[in-house]
């Protein structure tokens, strides 16, 4: 069923209202896929764990699960070609391996190979119509293809199957945000914050929607949380500078922009913001 919140979904506009509300200085980053996704493997992508999983594969050369497990960890490590080879091998051993199709789709999608990603997610869902991770992944492909209504349907289905899936709420929130439906976006980001622990991105996203709604104080509070969760987040510091600039607190605004410039001295939104609030190079500013 199509969610009534997206009655205006046909008005595709890449965050038009937010851009108008925030001004030209708000090209602060792409929030499209910054919250880490969870592959089937829960192991960290460390060389030691990859080596250990390689030993498992060598001892069990015909075990599809072993290849899928290693592929998941290789994908998390950014070793995408090796990950794809492992998923290919897993699928060759078990043509009905739902998780391997979804995991391979994720690697394809992260490499912006949307057609093979979509084919893998479709195959996974043909094999298991209740696999929430595949709906979530396919929804992200649809969103990248500007198929907002299809993306919404998949996010809704993922949430229906797995109500505690914080990533699904976050991604649906981004979809609402892109349609300038900030009230609904804030609701979804709030749910995501309760489900995803220690991540800056849902706070940043909620803060941006609050800024678009004209609530700079609530945005500043969220962005305080974001920079503490991820002190090296360029997007969080720049967005925080904008929130405090809107509040008229030039000290904290300059301090936030300065932090962003320490991360990337060529970041244009931070440079412009720092100049607007009268920031001076070499001066120390209070950030909290």
pLDDT tens-place string over residues 7-47:
333 332 332 233 333 332 332 334 444 444 543 434 577 88
Any idea where the domains of the chain sit in the sequence? Answer: 32-128
Q: What SS3 string covers the chain?
A: CCCHHHCCCCCCCCCHHHHHHHCHHHCCCCCCCCCCCCCCCCCCCCHHHHHHHHHHHHHCCCCHHHHHHHHHHHHHCCCHHHHHHHHHHHHHHCCCCHHHHHHHHHHHHHCCCHHHHHHHHHHHHHHCCCCHHHHHHHHHHHHHCCCHHHHHHHHHHHHHHCCCCHHHHHHHHHHHHHCCCHHHHHHHHHHHHHHCCCCCHHHHHHHHHHHHCCCHHHHHHHHHHHHHHCCCCHHHHHHHHHHHHHHCCHHHHHHHHHHHHHHCCCCHHHHHHHHHCCCCCCCCCCCC
What pLDDT score was predicted for residue 34? 43
What pLDDT score was predicted for residue 47? 86
pLDDT tens-place string over residues 214-241:
999 999 999 999 999 999 999 999 999 9
* pLDDT lower than 70: segments of the chain: 1-43
Can you give the pTM of this predicted structure?
Answer: 0.82
32-128 homologous superfamily: Tetratricopeptide repeat domain (1.25.40.10)
What pLDDT score was predicted for residue 250? 97
What pLDDT score was predicted for residue 197? 86
């Amino acid at each position: 069923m199509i969610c009534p919140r997206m009655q205006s979904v046909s008005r595709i506009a890449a965050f038009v209202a937010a851009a108008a509300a925030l001004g030209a200085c708000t090209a602060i980053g792409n929030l499209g896929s910054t919250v880490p996704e969870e592959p089937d493997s829960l192991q960290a992508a460390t060389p030691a764990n990859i080596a250990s999983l390689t030993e498992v594969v060598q001892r069990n050369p015909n075990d599809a699960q072993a290849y899928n497990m290693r592929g998941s960890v290789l994908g998390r490590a950014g070793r995408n070609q090796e990950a794809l080879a492992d998923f290919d091998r897993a699928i060759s051993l078990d043509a009905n391996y739902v998780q391997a199709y979804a995991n391979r789709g994720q690697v394809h999608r992260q490499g912006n190979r949307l057609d093979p990603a979509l084919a893998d997610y479709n195959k996974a869902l043909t094999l298991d119509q209740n696999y929430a991770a595949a709906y979530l992944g396919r929804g992200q492909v649809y969103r990248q293809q500007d198929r907002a209504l299809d993306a919404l349907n998949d996010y809704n289905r993922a949430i229906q199957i797995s109500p505690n899936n914080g990533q699904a709420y976050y991604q649906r929130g981004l979809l609402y945000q892109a349609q300038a439906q900030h009230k609904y976006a804030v609701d979804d980001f709030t749910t995501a914050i309760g489900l995803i622990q220690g991540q800056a991105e849902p706070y940043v996203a909620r803060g941006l929607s609050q800024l678009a709604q004209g609530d700079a104080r609530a945005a500043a509070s969220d962005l305080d949380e974001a920079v503490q969760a991820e002190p090296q987040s360029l997007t969080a510091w720049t967005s925080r500078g904008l929130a405090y600039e809107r509040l008229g607190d030039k000290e904290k605004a300059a301090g936030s922009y300065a932090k962003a410039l320490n991360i990337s001295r060529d970041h244009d939104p931070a440079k412009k913001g720092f100049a607007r609030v009268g920031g001076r190079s070499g001066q120390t500013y209070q950030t909290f």
